[in-house]
Amino acid sequence: MATDFTEANAADAVVDSFADTPDPRLRTIMSSLVRHLHAFVRDVEPTLPEWEQAIDFLTAVGQKCDDKRQEFILFSDALGVSMLVETINARGAAETTASTVLGPFHVVESPPRELGDSIDLLGGEPCVVTGRVRSVDGTPLPGARLDIWQASDRGFYDVQQPDVQPEGNLRGLFTADADGAFWFRTVVPSYYPIPTDGPVGQLLTATNRHPYRPAHIHFIVSADGHVPVTTHVFVADSPYIDSDAVFAVKRSLIREFRVVDDEDEASAYGVPAPFRLATVEFVLERREQG
């Protein structure tokens, strides 16, 4: 139907135009996108200036992106879409570590580090994170790889403060030992706002939403023959633990970062007392053969 475009037949006309798409998945996606978009427009009935404003918003989102800033990911995060995609793709993996958003700050390669190294290059309240990586059946995963990144105790990633933090600060690529165990030293991260100096920040302001994420450490954990997991460990007593701006908190990922005021324990980890200690276990799903 190429003529007589009406409100009633608009969606069908556009869906029909994709009928010859050779890739069936692309045809399904485009048809669904068109039907949902048209339903949205019929529901909202935007004025022409409002539609222009929507186009200007998306243009600004694109213009804010560069190799260190991803405003489209931020937009998807703030709408809960990133977490929805994550959650759909982790269906049926109940005993494995829950996944969360990658976020926009995994933009530089984490420096390889030895177990026990500090990822904090500037100093702050000492913190030790220890843990283990295992398969769902309990088998330890020696040689598992852990890509780790976090914000500082002031709530900034290295790439946000190139004049303050050296590149690679609070990032590290670790390899678990023969028992699948790992440990590293760091500082307790702070809660922080997602970047608000762009169109997504303006949208949060206009809708009276706060921009904060509760304190967390990011992990991508991978091991041979297993499905990698992208996740966070959240600091239990952090502000905003119940109202994450990007909806990424899952209860199973919250850990106590307890205060340890014991000289012997501190010296065993090579940190001064008191320090904070968190322990975490990552459970990966075996990859299906073939």
Residue 194 interacts with which of Fe ion, ligand BEZ, none, CB < 5 to 8 Å by class = ligand BEZ
What one-character DSSP code corresponds to residue 224? T
Whether the Cβ atoms of residue 32 and residue 40 lie closer than 8 Å to each other: no
Residue 104 interacts with which of ligand BEZ, Fe ion, none, CB < 5 to 8 Å by class = ligand BEZ
E strands, 126-242, in order: 126-135, 145-150, 171-175, 181-187, 192-193, 212-213, 216-222, 229-235
What is the binding site for ligand BEZ (CB under 6 A)? 74, 77, 101, 103-105, 194, 213, 246
Residue nearest to Fe ion (CB): 103
The helix (run of H) or strand (run of E) holding residue 51 is: helix 48-63
Minimum distance from residue 87 beta carbon to ligand BEZ (Å): 15
Minimum distance from residue 129 beta carbon to ligand BEZ (Å): 17
Residue 199 interacts with which of Fe ion, ligand BEZ, none, CB < 5 to 8 Å by class = none
Minimum distance from residue 231 beta carbon to ligand BEZ (Å): 11
Minimum distance from residue 82 beta carbon to ligand BEZ (Å): 7
Please measure the distance between the N-terminal and C-terminal CA atoms of the chain and give it in whole angstroms. Answer: 44
Angle at 247 between CA 244 and CA 252, to 5 degrees: 90
10 burial via Cβ count (<10 Å: 0-12, 13-18, 19+): middle
Minimum distance from residue 195 beta carbon to ligand BEZ (Å): 7
Q: Which is nearer to ligand BEZ, 103 or 131 (CB)?
A: 103
Minimum distance from residue 214 beta carbon to Fe ion (Å): 10
Residue 266 interacts with which of Fe ion, ligand BEZ, none, CB < 5 to 8 Å by class = none
Q: Which is nearer to Fe ion, 34 or 245 (CB)?
A: 245
Residue 127 interacts with which of Fe ion, ligand BEZ, none, CB < 5 to 8 Å by class = none
What one-character DSSP code corresponds to residue 80? T
- Tell me the C-alpha distance between 92 and 256, whole Å: 27
- Tell me the C-alpha distance between 175 and 167, whole Å: 21
Give the x-and-dash track for 96-115 against Fe ion (CB under 5 A): -------x------------
- Tell me the C-alpha distance between 139 and 152, whole Å: 34
Residue 229 interacts with which of Fe ion, ligand BEZ, none, CB < 5 to 8 Å by class = none
| Site for Fe ion, rule CB under 5 A | 103
